[in-house]
Structure 1
Amino acid sequence: MSKRAVLEVIALDEEDAVAAQAGGADRLELVTDMAADGLTPSRTGFAAIRAAVDIPLRVMLRLTDGFAAGDIDRLVARAADLRDAGADQFVLGFLTPDGDADLVAVERLVTVLDGCRWTFHRAIDRTPDRDALRKQLADLPGLDTYLTAGSPTGVDDGLPVLLAEAARAGEPGYEPQILVGGGLRLDHLPRLRAAGLAAFHIGGASRPHGWTAPVSPDAVRVWREALDA
């Protein structure tokens, strides 16, 4: 418990980013269009946020709602453009129609990312075999995090899976850090922290007035203080 826990907050724009940093966020996940569950921001949107804060930014690579890669050529071009603008951490995750990792799409993006660190997001919560997916992705350069609730329906249902995966830390496929997010509540934290989990992701929890209102630094601070307690 000595290690400070990582708190990652979703930011849609520079106002969110400044508020999240002020509240104690360690890192931001940059997205647009939460109605589609978070899509790739524009180059100018990224640049504005990068200029506004000095904490790490993980940029979503996703063009459409859902977990299919869609137009991978276009997504590779967007990734290259964001890299050129200075983005150096990313978030991605694609599945085949059968629910396996879409290695073709992921490997094409990872090639463009050229060693940048990246998170495989909650697509892992939609695969029929989490262990197989982790092993499929284990050798890809830069993969250092899985964003997961342990279940498609959120942390409440996923707790047993999260605790079991935390116990396997360091095994093949389980080296990346688990970033817990998706219906995460403050009352989940004691069990998760006791299991050794040390990275947490919030979106709606940082916005007491909903997605149409900005991030509240006070709401973020509540999470920071709970994690530091």
Structure 2
Amino acid sequence: MSTRAVLEVIALGVEDAVAAQAGGADRLELVTDMAADGLTPSVTTFTGIRAAVDIDLRVMLRLSDGFAAGGPHGVERLVRAARELRWAGADQFVLGFLDAGGGPDLDALERVVAELDGCPWTFHRAIDRAADRDALRKQLADLPGLDAYLTAGSAAGVDDGLPTLLAEAWRGQEPGYEPTVMVGGGLRLDHVPALRSAGVTAFHIGGAARPDGWAGPLSARSVTQWRRTLDATDES
């Protein structure tokens, strides 16, 4: 395979970021509060990490647990957070909002994306909770900057979602399927060969890089194991 796989790693702070880069991560997803599955970090956290590493950073825009934007007040807070992070130098983001029916919250998405001014962004695992994955992709196809979907193929994780992931990876030339499929959510090393064979080029890990759990440090050695596994599939 000629396309080098991208490895994105969740980082909560500077120590995580430094360890992830040392282990071979290509990009970091910056979040806080993993008890809520990852919320927007502070500007101070972003600037500290930006000063400590030189790899790409994608910053989460999510202010509460779940996948709702939080109504007009929530959208205003999201827009403000995006604006402050942009002022601080953030130039890549992660977001995704659903409405009460499980469709994309287009009003919220359009408002927040407008604040990003063309910056690249990932639609996160809200897609795994969507009522209709295919319809969501097609509804979001024209949003500027959308270049990846972070997905496990299922709300339950990659074990359950693998058939969906393999099917979607083959649809990359269809309308709505141009963004990169980035697999994450219960991802294990033994999933990698089938995903790489299907053409998946981006992988996202969080807990897999933390042998002692979220209360413990990020392990550069664990990241290196993932990097080597992905590099081996690049060469196969």
TM-score range, shorter chain: over 0.9
Query: Residue 96 of structure 1 aligns with which residue?
Result: 99
User: Quick check: 1:33 aligned with 2:36?
Assistant: no
Distance 1:162 1:55 in 2: 27
Distance 2:188 2:75 in 1: 34
TM-score (norm: length of structure 1): 0.99
Q: Match for 1:11: what amino acid?
A: A
User: Quick check: 1:169 aligned with 2:158?
Assistant: no
Give secondary structure in 1 for the equivalent of 2:109: helix
Q: Match for 1:73: what amino acid?
A: E
Matches within 5 A, 1:175-186: 175-186=178-189
Q: Match for 1:68: what amino acid?
A: A
Query: Residue 62 of structure 1 aligns with which residue?
Result: 62
Query: Residue 118 of structure 2 aligns with which residue?
Result: 115
Distance 1:96 1:61 in 2: 16
Query: Residue 3 of structure 1 aligns with which residue?
Result: 3
Distance 1:86 1:55 in 2: 14
Q: Match for 1:180: what amino acid?
A: V
Query: Residue 130 of structure 1 aligns with which residue?
Result: 133
Q: Match for 1:28: what amino acid?
A: L
Query: Residue 44 of structure 2 aligns with which residue?
Result: 44
Distance 1:111 1:82 in 2: 14
* Segments ≥4 residues shifted beyond 6 Å: none
Cα drift, residue 2 of structure 1: 1.4
Cα drift, residue 128 of structure 1: 1.5
Cα drift, residue 170 of structure 1: 1.5
Distance 2:154 2:41 in 1: 26
Distance 1:221 1:52 in 2: 19
Distance 2:52 2:173 in 1: 36
User: Quick check: 1:76 aligned with 2:82?
Assistant: no
TM-score (norm: length of structure 2): 0.96
Query: Residue 156 of structure 1 aligns with which residue?
Result: 159
Q: Match for 1:205: what amino acid?
A: A
Query: Residue 225 of structure 1 aligns with which residue?
Result: 228
Give secondary structure in 2 for the equivalent of 1:22: helix
Give secondary structure in 1 for the equivalent of 2:48: helix
Give secondary structure in 2 for the equivalent of 1:146: strand
Query: Residue 16 of structure 2 aligns with which residue?
Result: 16
Distance 2:42 2:4 in 1: 32
Query: Residue 211 of structure 2 aligns with which residue?
Result: 208
Cα drift, residue 68 of structure 1: 0.3
Deviation readout 1:115-160 (Å, 9 max, x if unpaired):
0000000000001110000000000000000000000000000011
What is the aligned-residue RMSD (CA, Å)? 0.4
Q: Match for 2:152: what amino acid?
A: A
Query: Residue 192 of structure 2 aligns with which residue?
Result: 189
Give secondary structure in 2 for the equivalent of 1:65: coil
User: Quick check: 1:87 aligned with 2:90?
Assistant: yes
Deviation readout 1:60-119 (Å, 9 max, x if unpaired):
000000000011101100100000000000000000010000000000010000000000
